[in-house]
Copies of this chain bind each other. A is one copy, B any other.
Amino acid sequence: MSTTILRGTVVSVEISITKPTVIIGERINPTRKKELTTALKEGNFDLIRDEALAQQEEGADVIDVNVGAPGVDEVALLPLAVKMAAEATGLPISIDSSNPLAIEAALKTCPGKPLINSVSGETRSLEQILPLAKEYNAAVIGLCMDDSGVNPDPDERFKVANTILERAAALGIAAGDVIFDPLVLNVGTDFHAAKTTLEVVKLIANNLGMNIATGSSNISHGLPNRAYLNNSFLALSIFNGVTIPIVNPAAPGLVETVRSTDLLLEKDPRAMRFLKLYRQRNKKING
């Protein structure tokens, strides 16, 4: 069973199937957020800092930083945004971009040991992004898709995981530094979406024993009552082997679901984390 270590300026996290689930906070992402896009264009990082701190307070263990938006100079801004989030929280950072130049610029300034989000099985991505994980001693998320896209067949997605793993090994990247994302389509348009992803999760967990990330809220895209679908899917994902979901920690019941599932799956001895969350939330409500 793989262990992945990520380090921030203050906090380090150890990711493993036997440890509590690690939450990546996904909210620093300008997609469909006009205010954040405008602030980034103006070189104003206050919102980045606020969102990083808010997510930490809500339960995020790692802060994902994405500044990709039309009109935003990612190569110039990603390093600054990453630095702001890292220094504000002390948490490890997930550097979120598909632009190798922006990723490299961010890796140069990011303290600790970050996570690159992400490489894929696409030829260009493997050639341009994977070597950066080795060069800068970062961990990296490998998306289970290749030049032909996201395959509906779990076995095919698992093959892509193996390809990424082989390429990483050839570059001298430790298996523990690779985390897979099986990819989540939405169950509203693809009836098999959840079972397909869970099948890929099982294949990776049972055959490779490696850490697994998912952007689990994609499952409910286009449907109402999303929180219940997301939380149920999250519980099933963790049961099958997801160790580091990429989520909005402010979503209703999300952190509670993670803490509950961890307790049920014997990842939270003496219910310490479960009870700590209860006390925190209770304190908030009662003043």
Protomer copies: 2
Q: Choose from B194, B219, B236, B275 the contact partner of A236 (Cβ within 8 Å).
A: B236
A155 vs chain B, min Cβ distance (A)? 18
Contacts of A257 in B (CB 8 A): 228, 231-232
Task: Tell whether, in the assembled complex, residue A195 and residue B265 are in contact, meaning their CB atoms are under 8 Å apart.
Answer: yes
Main secondary structure of the interface of A (DSSP, over half): helix
- Complex formed: what's the CA distance from A282 to B225 in Å? 10
Which residue in chain B gives the minimum CB-CB distance to A262?
B232
Can you identify 27 A-B contacts, CB atoms within 8 angstroms? A187-B264, A194-B264, A194-B265, A194-B266, A195-B266, A223-B274, A225-B260, A228-B256, A228-B260, A229-B260, A229-B263, A229-B264, A229-B274, A231-B231, A231-B232, A231-B235, A231-B257, A231-B260, A232-B257, A232-B264, A233-B260, A235-B235, A235-B236, A236-B236, A236-B261, A236-B264, A239-B239
A residues adjacent to B (C-beta < 8 A): 187-188, 191-192, 194-195, 219, 223-225, 228-229, 231-233, 235-236, 239, 253, 256-257, 259-261, 263-266, 269, 271, 274-275, 277-278, 281-282
